[in-house]
Amino acid sequence: MAPHVTKGTTARVGTMVGFIYGERHDVTAVGLAAAVGQRWGRFALDSEYAYLQLQERGPSALRLGTGHRLSVIGRFDVIRVGPRIIGANSLLAVYVEGGAGVAWNQWFRPAHDQPVRIVPEDTKRPEAQVGFGVEIDHRLQEPIGFPHRIGWFLGWRMAYAPHDAGAASICRGGSSCRPAPMMPQERYTDRSMLFQSSLSVTW
């Protein structure tokens, strides 16, 4: 079989789920991510956007806010397993990745039928990202041409942002709010851990 040619323009779309720590609320994050980029053999560079719903931890599905992430991610295939083991047209890779971006978090006030809670001020902060995972990449037979590869990513992404004590309000249902005490400066960074699953195409 001819060698796998892993180069070209890429597009990727998938889901994210995980946890964000260090804000006024430790929350569960659930959302979607999309990326476009370029591959050069083992190395790829993506520009990625993610939209997250920030929910109360535990069994509750109460929405506390939304998050937006815009980042540039570099990814490198550390280990590759080729056709001799997993099939003539398939490629399995273990990858590591790293990048930087901007994170926006926007927080909702409680509705009339919801209990009193702390509502942080909206934030915008830079963040550093690192991750690892597994990619299963499959080449399509000619003469299909577009795309010439389709893949599936499964991995973990960790992000670190400067900690901000942050202003916040204590709000009851409706519009009644009062200032909340400042958070103690107990840490230097806030962090998140997100599990990713996505499909990608290369052409």
Taking only the tens place, the pLDDT of each residue in 47-79 is 999 999 998 887 777 888 999 999 999 999 999
Q: Would you say residue 144 has pLDDT above 70?
A: no
Q: Could you write out the three-class secondary structure of 58-113?
A: CCCCCEEEEEEEEEEEEEEEEEEECHHHHCCCEEEEEEEEEEEEEEEEEECCCCCC
As a whole-number percent, the residues of the chain with pLDDT over 70 amount to 90
Whole-structure pTM value:
0.83
Does 8 fall in a domain?
A: no
Does 50 fall in a domain?
A: yes
Does 101 fall in a domain?
A: yes
Does 125 fall in a domain?
A: yes
Domain, as residue range, for 114:
13-202
Cβ distance 68 to 50 under 8 Å? yes
- How far, in Å, are 77, 87, 203 from residue 137 at the CA level? 12, 11, 13
> How do residues 11-22 score in pLDDT, each as one tens digit?
999 999 999 886
Does 39 fall in a domain?
A: yes
Number of domains in the chain: 1
- Tell me the CATH number at 46: 2.40.160.20
Does 115 fall in a domain?
A: yes
Does 99 fall in a domain?
A: yes
- What local confidence, expressed as pLDDT, does residue 1 receive? 57
Specify which residues 11 forms β-bridges with.
36, 201
